[in-house]
Chains A and B, each alone.
Chain A
Amino acid sequence: MTTTTLAVLVPLLPFLGAAAGLLLGRTAPGFVRPLAVLPTLASLVLAVLVAARQGGGQAVDSATELTPTGSVPIELALYINGFAALVAVLVGVVASCVQIYSTGYLRDDPRYPSYAALVSLFTSAMLLVVYSGDLIVLLVGWEVMGICSYFLVGHYWETPEARAASIKAFLVTKLGDVPFLIGLFALGTDAGSFRITHVLGAVASGGLHQPTLIALLLLAGVAGKSAQFPLHTWLPDAMAGPTPVSALIHAATMVAAGVYFIARLLPVFEASSATMVVLAVMAGVTMVGSALAALAQDDIKRVLAYSTIGQLGYMTGALAVGERGAAVFHLLSHGAFKALLFLGAGVIIHAAGTNSLAAMSRMKDLRARVPDAYWTMTVALLALAAIPPFSGFFSKESVLGAAEHAATGHTAHAPGAAGWTVLVTGLLTALLTAAYATRLWLLAFRGHGAEAPDHGKQPLVMNAVLWVLAVPSLAFGLAYRVLPGWFDGRDLTPTLTTSVLGTGLALVGGLMTYGAWRHTTAVADRFPLGAVAAHPEADAGLVEAEAIASHAPAYGDVAYAPDPADPGRLLLGPLHRHAAVGFHLDALYDALFVRPVRAGASLVQFLDREVVETYVRGAGALPRLLGAAVRRAQTGNVQTYVSALLAGTVVLAVAVLLVATGA
């Protein structure tokens, strides 16, 4: 088969799997698991084959036009360069791991068939985004991912948190998608084509009339999808979905789609230096803010969610300094270790029966209950904190190196201001990242107090997947030697200055948290805290749903626990209160958008109920009145009717006679 055929099959197989899963889900439950796992695995194998054939060389580019569509043609186009090939492999790996993990995680879930089908559909949409060479086809995949995310976040729609989170995720990302759509149209009209190759050609020859406007419009969609400030608020709430969904969609792939999109169209963004500065500031604010918020969260998954936002900030930061190789490098290594962290967190939540770090810090020997999750998550947290030689170190240092390069004015398209912003915030975030990673590890695995409850052994598939993902978390960083051949050819080797600075700051952050933890851990025994799910023996998905639903009643908030023994509280001081609620952005949006919309809705309701309905009622009242008058004639006496009939006949007959005689 040609590479093109293989590449077409890569997104097609999970799509067919999803369709078959949705159709057969009820009638043939035995087929659901194979239909979920096998197409995804097959498309992973094909993606690896495509990557091997493409090999970072000449991009595979082919297109076919199904039908003429008016002014700017829309084509089914494939464009696979080194970026696309490698990101597709990442999507395949994570999606396969998640599908296999889900067979254990949701083994008793009644809605597993539709869940698995939606995950497959999502995988197919992401692969479409990755391989697509046409912006409109890319948009199709982009939006399918959005709707899949909506359904999967709302998987436990019995709980109000999940319902609210799914609607929020959908609305906030759509808020970015509307400008994104307009930006795509503007880009397509300016360039005269939606083909990415033609668009890039037009940019290179200076064919764009409004590069800043287009780039800023596209940036809004990217900020929504990749959860960048100020549209990031949906991501922490999206943790109400099942853990595998968080791992797949909200850590490794969908949120990476925005970053990947900019990486693909980087010349469009580089055409406007204002956009690059906006991008850099956005990345900086996102990185620092999310890292501070992560340090104050109590829900283990929300810590990871804010951490995801921060790591995506690194990627956009790398793009802001014009180094897409570093951005995609970090995307790949982050995809692996963040998926591992989420899947490990799912195991921990199942074992502990709670998602609250405060409750976990009061359990002794939780690590002995889940040894696989303990070791693999230790690896992943070290990678997250960018400690050498784990994968996160190399990718993060390549980002910081690129920022330093731009700051000293060595990068052609990136303004020095962008470089400095990314460099300073990136180093600060390195410190904070290490701090919250250490905090998570200490609170989850080094608890004191009562023995952790024994909820039986974790399913084998769940543990096996963790080890599979631990391999790239451990060793993928060494790929920095090979990757430039796949990317733009720029060197990704860590530079000495940033490496020393970054690693030093990470160590400082880790040690500070450790010190704070040693200081506060004595307090922990005096403040008993902890609520455990009602059905600890149930499957992991149910335990998690119950843990999320019970967090607010038990601790007063979904994100916050009144735990004085939290090292994050000591480190953040007065900031802690604000960081725990995401710096009041939700409250701000509530005041700015939600309440005006509600007020408008109640105004419309008033107009409809009181004004429009009055006219409708008035129109009905007159005929009713006339009807009442006519009804009085109906006495029930047949002879009266016949008399009236006779009278009418006589009148008519006389009238006819008069007319006929001409009187």
Chain B
Amino acid sequence: MHLVYPAVLSALLFCTGLYGVLARRNAVLVLMSVELMLNAVNLNLVAFDVWLSRTARETLHSGQALTLFTIAIAAAEIGIGLAIVLAVYRNRGTSDIDRLRDTAEGHETDALAAEKAEATA
């Protein structure tokens, strides 16, 4: 199989993921998009590993080994990410990324402001 097929597929997958990360509003879907991007990279790793080992320049299959690492780390990452999203949803009643702007400059929620006023009083 020519190298261009997996490469193009991987690029498409990555762009889909990128679009999802930048444009989706739901945090769960953003996380899923991140998974797509990771897996696009995994596909590249495997494909180039096969291509390089065919020319006998690479015999250690480090691309495949690295893919296994990425899958394990991605599993952990998605676990933590989903847990955070779940906690945020329980706390706020929403997981809409556009409404989670607590770190904005000049932004203070009412509860935080009240707490600060108490501390200075």
A634 touches B (CB below 8 Å): yes
CA distance A379 to B57 in the complex (A): 119
Instruction: Give, as a whole number of angstroms, the nearest-CB distance from A215 to chain B.
Output: 67
B101 touches A646 (CB 8 A): no
List A contacts of B18 (CB < 8 A). Answer: 646
List B contacts of A620 (CB < 8 A). Answer: none
List B contacts of A30 (CB < 8 A). Answer: none
CA distance A636 to B103 in the complex (A): 5
List A residues 615-647 near B (Cβ within 8 Å): 631-632, 634-639, 642-643, 646
CB-CB nearest in chain B for A631: B105
List A contacts of B98 (CB < 8 A). Answer: 637
CB-CB nearest in chain B for A641: B103
CA distance A634 to B105 in the complex (A): 6
B87 touches A (CB below 8 Å): no
B13 touches A (CB below 8 Å): no
B107 touches A (CB below 8 Å): yes
CA distance A646 to B20 in the complex (A): 13
Interface size, B (range): 10 to 19
List B contacts of A639 (CB < 8 A). Answer: 21-23, 97
B22 touches A636 (CB 8 A): no
B97 touches A638 (CB 8 A): yes
A635 touches B104 (CB 8 A): yes
List B contacts of A636 (CB < 8 A). Answer: 100-105, 107
A642 touches B101 (CB 8 A): no
Instruction: Give, as a whole number of angstroms, the nearest-CB distance from B119 to chain A.
Output: 23
List B contacts of A637 (CB < 8 A). Answer: 97-98, 101, 104
Known A639-B22, A646-B18; contact A632-B105, beta-carbon cutoff 8 A: yes
Contact of A634 among B21, B100, B104 (CB under 8 A): B104
List B contacts of A632 (CB < 8 A). Answer: 105
B107 touches A643 (CB 8 A): no
Instruction: Give, as a whole number of angstroms, the nearest-CB distance from B58 to chain A.
Output: 23
List B residues 96-121 near A (Cβ within 8 Å): 97-98, 100-105, 107
CA distance A26 to B44 in the complex (A): 79
Contact of B103 among A634, A642, A643, A646 (CB under 8 A): A634
CA distance A646 to B104 in the complex (A): 20
List A contacts of B23 (CB < 8 A). Answer: 639
- Size of the A side of the interface (Cβ < 8 Å), in residues, is 11
Instruction: Give, as a whole number of angstroms, the nearest-CB distance from B96 to chain A.
Output: 11
A646 touches B22 (CB 8 A): yes
List A contacts of B103 (CB < 8 A). Answer: 634, 636
List B contacts of A642 (CB < 8 A). Answer: 21-22
B22 touches A635 (CB 8 A): no
CA distance A642 to B97 in the complex (A): 13
CA distance A243 to B104 in the complex (A): 70
CA distance A446 to B104 in the complex (A): 88
Instruction: Give, as a whole number of angstroms, the nearest-CB distance from B36 to chain A.
Output: 15
CB-CB nearest in chain B for A628: B105
A635 touches B97 (CB 8 A): no
Instruction: Give, as a whole number of angstroms, the nearest-CB distance from A649 to chain B.
Output: 11
CB-CB nearest in chain B for A635: B104
List A contacts of B107 (CB < 8 A). Answer: 636
For B18-35 the 0/1 string (1 means CB < 8 A from A) is 100111000000000000
CA distance A414 to B82 in the complex (A): 105
List B residues 1-45 near A (Cβ within 8 Å): 18, 21-23
Instruction: Give, as a whole number of angstroms, the nearest-CB distance from B97 to chain A.
Output: 6
CB-CB nearest in chain B for A634: B105
List B contacts of A635 (CB < 8 A). Answer: 101, 104-105
B22 touches A643 (CB 8 A): yes
Instruction: Give, as a whole number of angstroms, the nearest-CB distance from A639 to chain B.
Output: 5
Instruction: Give, as a whole number of angstroms, the nearest-CB distance from B49 to chain A.
Output: 23
For A199-229 the 0/1 string (1 means CB < 8 A from B) is 0000000000000000000000000000000
Instruction: Give, as a whole number of angstroms, the nearest-CB distance from A84 to chain B.
Output: 68
Residue with the highest number of chain A CB atoms closer than 10 Å, among B98, B101, B105? B105
CA distance A634 to B106 in the complex (A): 9
CA distance A642 to B103 in the complex (A): 15
CA distance A81 to B22 in the complex (A): 99
List A contacts of B101 (CB < 8 A). Answer: 635-637
List A contacts of B105 (CB < 8 A). Answer: 631-632, 634-636
Residue with the highest number of chain B CB atoms closer than 10 Å, among A631, A637, A642? A637
List A contacts of B21 (CB < 8 A). Answer: 639, 642
CA distance A635 to B97 in the complex (A): 12
Instruction: Give, as a whole number of angstroms, the nearest-CB distance from A647 to chain B.
Output: 11
Residue with the highest number of chain B CB atoms closer than 10 Å, among A634, A638, A643, A646? A638
Instruction: Give, as a whole number of angstroms, the nearest-CB distance from A226 to chain B.
Output: 59
List A contacts of B102 (CB < 8 A). Answer: 636
Instruction: Give, as a whole number of angstroms, the nearest-CB distance from B87 to chain A.
Output: 16
Instruction: Give, as a whole number of angstroms, the nearest-CB distance from A627 to chain B.
Output: 10
CA distance A635 to B105 in the complex (A): 6
CA distance A639 to B21 in the complex (A): 7
CA distance A138 to B98 in the complex (A): 82
Chosen A-B contacts, 6 in total, with CB atoms closer than 8 Å, are A632-B105, A635-B101, A635-B104, A638-B97, A642-B22, A646-B18
Q: B interface vs A, CB < 8 Å?
A: 18, 21-23, 97-98, 100-105, 107
Given contacts A636-B102, A642-B22, 11 further A-B pairs with CB under 8 A are A632-B105, A634-B103, A635-B105, A636-B101, A636-B103, A636-B104, A636-B107, A637-B101, A637-B104, A638-B100, A639-B97
Task: Please provide the 8 A-B residue pairs with the shortest distance between their CB atoms, ordered closest to farther.
Answer: A636-B104, A636-B101, A634-B105, A631-B105, A636-B103, A635-B104, A639-B22, A643-B22
